[in-house]
């Protein structure tokens, strides 16, 4: 069951889930990129494929931090236990500690026009504030390259290892998923409570022998079904099914079945013993 019509979906409704899907996407881009960087070198124009992939790797790793930021914003907006956000922040710090300077590396690639002149933000601004000449700043934060022998990507004073990058991406992605799982658990508990409230308001008993079963939601879904082992007549099940569907649809629930092989309405599916 869901309270959102299938044709009215928007990513803005569940940004915490978008953070998960995006983190998984960019994690897989990291994995693919590292595989290519380990592979035989190829050429694309005058540059090697490995050097091109090094650029992709840095840009992609930064996307994982963006996904973490989105997850944190969603956790706060949904009033999830602060401990969840704290655990996610700790995972982000581990990621940044294992990949020192990854944000600055990405910024330099993205804003090469500024960094080539020594007018970039972050460490370049700090250098300007210290009175260092723009020409010297640009030189110190410019050289970028992948060393296949060391398995590392360097930019100015920063160096990351591709083996570490792959592991760090996987771990941060896993942490984002774990945080989102807490949101799912909260949403499921609220949905189950709302379901039971609607049923109770209609005088419908549940989770007793011979009555409607409401799943505990351990699989993050709420299922409704009849215990067909009971001796209730089909007529009684049909009458009760009609009451159940009326009560829930009046509350705004959208009833669905996993069995799409047959076109049946919700009442008929309950009568036949299917779960909704």
Whole-number Cα distances in Å, 28 to 21, 25, 122, 173: 11, 5, 28, 10
Whether the per-residue pLDDT at 228 is higher than 60: the answer is: no
The pLDDT tens digits of the residues spanning 134-180 come to 999 999 999 999 999 999 999 999 999 999 999 999 999 999 999 99
Reported confidence tier of residue 195, pLDDT bands at 50, 70, 90:
confident
* Contact (CB, 8 A) for 67 and 23: yes
* Contact (CB, 8 A) for 4 and 253: no
Return the HEC string of 44-86: ECCEEHHHHHHHHHHHHHHHHHHHHHHHHHHHHHCCCCHHHHH
The pLDDT tens digits of the residues spanning 19-57 come to 999 999 999 999 999 999 998 777 767 778 999 999 999
pTM: 0.79
Q: What is the structure's pLDDT at 273? A: 66
Q: What is the structure's pLDDT at 207? A: 66
**What does the mean pLDDT of the chain come to?**
86
Q: What is the structure's pLDDT at 109? A: 95
Q: What is the structure's pLDDT at 84? A: 96
Tokens of 12: 């803005």
């Amino acid at each position: 069951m869901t309270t959102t019509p299938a044709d009215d979906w928007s990513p803005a409704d569940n940004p915490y889930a978008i953070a998960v899907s995006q983190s998984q996407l960019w994690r897989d881009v990291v994995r693919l990129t590292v595989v290519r960087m380990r592979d035989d070198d190829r050429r694309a124009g005058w540059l090697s494929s490995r050097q091109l992939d090094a650029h992709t790797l840095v840009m992609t790793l930064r996307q994982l931090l963006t996904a973490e930021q989105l997850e944190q914003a969603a956790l706060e907006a949904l009033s999830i236990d602060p401990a969840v956000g704290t655990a996610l922040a700790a995972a982000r710090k581990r990621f940044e500690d294992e990949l020192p300077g990854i944000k600055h590396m990405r910024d330099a690639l993205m804003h090469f026009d500024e960094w080539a002149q020594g007018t970039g933000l972050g460490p370049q601004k700090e250098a300007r504030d210290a009175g260092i000449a723009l020409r010297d700043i640009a030189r110190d934060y410019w050289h970028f390259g992948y060393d296949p022998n060391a398995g590392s990507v360097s930019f100015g004073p920063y160096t990351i290892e591709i083996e570490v990058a792959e592991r760090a991406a996987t771990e941060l992605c896993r942490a984002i998923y774990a945080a989102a799982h807490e949101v799912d658990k909260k949403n499921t508990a609220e949905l189950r409570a709302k379901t039971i409230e609607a049923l109770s308001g209609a005088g419908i008993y549940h989770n007793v022998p011979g009555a409607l079963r409401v799943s505990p939601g351990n699989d993050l879904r709420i299922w409704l079904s009849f215990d067909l082992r009971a001796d209730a007549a089909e007529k009684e099940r049909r009458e009760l099914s009609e009451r159940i569907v009326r009560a829930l649809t009046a509350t705004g629930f959208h009833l669905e079945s996993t069995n799409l092989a047959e076109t049946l309405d919700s009442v008929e599916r309950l009568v036949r013993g299917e779960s909704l």
